[in-house]
Structure 1
Amino acid sequence: MTDALDLPGWTHVYSGKVRDLYVPDAAMLDDDSWTGDPLTISPVVLVVASDRVSAFDHVLDPAIPGKGALLTELTHWWFERLPEVPNHLAQPLDDRFEIPAVPAEVADRATLCRTLDMFPIECVVRGYLTGGGYKDYLATGTIGGIPLPEGLSDGDRLPEPVFTPAWKAPLGQHDENISYERTVELVGETVAAQLRALSLEIFAKASEIAEARGVILADTKFEFGADRETGIVTLADEVLTSDSSRYWDASAYADLEAPLASRLASFDKQIVRDWLAANWDQAGTPPVLPGEIVEQTGGKYRELLERLRG
């Protein structure tokens, strides 16, 4: 499933569907003062975004060339535009061991991060009614228990953005949409309020920046952790990328005469999902993606970055 590399000075400790995590070799030392889970002990982690692409809980073949570098660049671009929000990029001072250099072979898709005590919450913010939120609305008239006006359609802008968190399930299980009240139970009232306020604040600013570039931010998800030194709620993981967010072309969205699918075409791997839905029954191993699907998907990732950067 993974393409984890042997990186000088770094030890591979975990791989998700699309990212690989490394800690400094020194974090793996086994002595009386330095033992335990390296992700818990190490002050830093090297997050390497791969070119792997996943859909329907499967990692697909082949990868999307350049995807990891594009998403990493976009995350850093957004961090630069959110200087008021604490993030995990700052390298801590730590005298327990020397932090190795980021290897050149992964420099364009690697992020050196402080390790945080992560909250088990995906902080989803929706500015438009679509996707799973639209299905929830059709069934209940709400999103995550939040009442919405009657008569809304797929793709409609919401009266105001809504915070619809999810619980990050353990590996191998599906994440679960939860209420704000359940969020309070999981992380406490103070942290839950901070997560909601920060998520809505970041979404509002990012939406304004995107709209100025002819792009609509329909929805996104954030992840936060507590700084281990200060306890400050800190923005982590990838931020406002094509894999964590749904973006639409503003001019296409405004064309009310166009088919809905064209108006809501997103700058992400929707092309992959659509092809799989039409060519696979989700039983057994997924089929190999055709070259044109790989190329079109990579083009969408690149186009979004170019549009936002101007």
Structure 2
Amino acid sequence: MSGFVTKPEPVQVPGLVHLHTGKVRDLYRDQAGRLVMVASDRTSAFDWVLPNDIPDKGRILTQLSLWWFDRIADLVPNHVISTEVPDGAPADWAGRTMICDDLEMFPVECVARGYLTGSGLREYEQDRTVTGIALPAGLVDGSELPAPIYTPALKAEVGEHDENVPYEETARRVGAEWAATLRQTTLAVYTRARDIARERGLILADTKFEFGLRGGELVIGDEVLTPDSSRYWPADSWEPGRAQESYDKQFIRDWLSSPASGWDRTGELPPPELPADILEQTRAKYVEAYERLTGETWV
């Protein structure tokens, strides 16, 4: 059992039709047919959307996505039209809103991995492959791969895991030509971002992208290269063979897994509220990731 501890009621805005409430984002359509994406401060762990918000998280994700969109624009166009807050929307939407083209989305999470960890590590430990890609023997948690690999997944509903699949399965679903284009573009964007992060003392271990079509043109959508969609590690403490320090929700996962939370992950009860210090430590990690990548102070 998983999902929302308490699913929020969507904000009603004149001229906007509410379409979907996701783990983080609320999606609307405006009268011009454009999508309005609003990044909330919600956070999730272990497939649950938790009862507490992480202050500023939605704005950090939005501003970091916009920063990255600028740095990969020569590789692939993005879906953002404007960041203006629609008339009648809450003032709190400022800095967390993107008005976007409504793309014809591919049903594939496009994942690039430069390091072995997470679900990739679990697959590797079973048969030394990740989504059918053979890897060298002797790799451990945190090992750098000989070259980045493309390991697609099929999108899942809220509360479910995305399903890692072989490349051939994506070719069957979207066609050989588009499957090849998705792979090529994913690896090109990952390589660009990996090198930029490395210059700033961060390792981009892996990341996932979503792509769609706009008049037959490939366009990148959703969020890009944020701590929610990517795994960043500080380069100066990287040490293969153990779990790495990460710029994400690890403080939350660790607390929920500890006796202090009193929560049974295998049970049917939802997670409890998070302590203030766990929320603040998690927020600080998001802020630090933003500041290290952009070189700007978060205000």
- TM-score, normalized by the shorter chain, greater than 0.5: yes
**Residues 33-72 of structure 1 correspond to what in structure 2 (within 5 A)?**
42=33, 44-72=34-62
Asked if structure 2 preserves the Cα contact closer than 8 Å seen for 1:88 and 1:235, the reply is: yes
* RCO higher in structure (CA 8 A, sep ≥6): 2
Q: Relative to 1, partners in 2 of residues 1:7 and 1:294: Cα closer, same or farther, differing over 3 Å? A: same
Residue by residue over 1:204-258, the C-alpha shift from the partner in whole angstroms, topping out at 9 and shown as x without a partner, is 000010000011100000000111xx2111100000001000000011116x8xx
Query: Does residue 246 in structure 1 map to residue 231 in structure 2?
Result: yes
Q: Secondary structure at the match of 2:200?
A: coil
Identity of paired residues, percent? 51
Asked if structure 2 preserves the Cα contact closer than 8 Å seen for 1:102 and 1:110, the reply is: no
Q: Secondary structure at the match of 1:218?
A: strand
Equivalence for 1:161: 148
**Residues 293-304 of structure 1 correspond to what in structure 2 (within 5 A)?**
293-304=278-289
Equivalence for 1:268: 248
Equivalence for 2:3: none
Q: Secondary structure at the match of 1:240?
A: coil
Q: Residue 150 of structure 1 is aligned with which of 137, 150, 157?
A: 137
Residues 204-213 or 9-18, more deviating: 9-18
Q: Residue 161 of structure 2 is aligned with which of 174, 191, 202?
A: 174
Amino acid at match of 2:264: D
Distance 2:207 2:57 in 1: 18
Q: Secondary structure at the match of 1:247?
A: strand
Distance 1:217 1:6 in 2: 38
Asked if structure 1 preserves the Cα contact closer than 8 Å seen for 2:26 and 2:40, the reply is: yes
Query: Does residue 4 in structure 1 map to residue 10 in structure 2?
Result: yes
Distance 1:170 1:303 in 2: 30
Q: Residue 13 of structure 1 is aligned with which of 19, 34, 37?
A: 19
Asked if structure 1 preserves the Cα contact closer than 8 Å seen for 2:37 and 2:98, the reply is: yes
Distance 2:160 2:53 in 1: 24
Q: Residue 189 of structure 1 is aligned with which of 156, 166, 176?
A: 176
Asked if structure 2 preserves the Cα contact closer than 8 Å seen for 1:127 and 1:218, the reply is: yes
Equivalence for 1:32: none
Distance 1:207 1:60 in 2: 30
Asked if structure 2 preserves the Cα contact closer than 8 Å seen for 1:126 and 1:164, the reply is: yes
Q: Residue 292 of structure 1 is aligned with which of 263, 270, 277?
A: 277
Equivalence for 1:73: 63
Q: Residue 237 of structure 1 is aligned with which of 222, 243, 246?
A: 222
Residues 284-293 or 271-280, more deviating: 271-280
Equivalence for 2:81: 90
The alpha-carbon deviation at position 181 of structure 1 amounts to 0.3
Amino acid at match of 1:131: G
The alpha-carbon deviation at position 13 of structure 1 amounts to 1.8
Equivalence for 1:31: none
The alpha-carbon deviation at position 277 of structure 1 amounts to 1.7
Residues 82-91 or 124-133, more deviating: 82-91
Residue by residue over 1:159-179, the C-alpha shift from the partner in whole angstroms, topping out at 9 and shown as x without a partner, is 000000001134564321100
* Count of residue correspondences: 280
Residue by residue over 1:9-51, the C-alpha shift from the partner in whole angstroms, topping out at 9 and shown as x without a partner, is 3222210111101111x36xxxxxxxxxxxxxx2x10000000
Amino acid at match of 1:13: L
Asked if structure 1 preserves the Cα contact closer than 8 Å seen for 2:48 and 2:159, the reply is: no
Q: Relative to 1, partners in 2 of residues 1:172 and 1:248: Cα closer, same or farther, differing over 3 Å? A: closer
**Residues 127-142 of structure 1 correspond to what in structure 2 (within 5 A)?**
127-142=114-129
Distance 1:133 1:102 in 2: 45
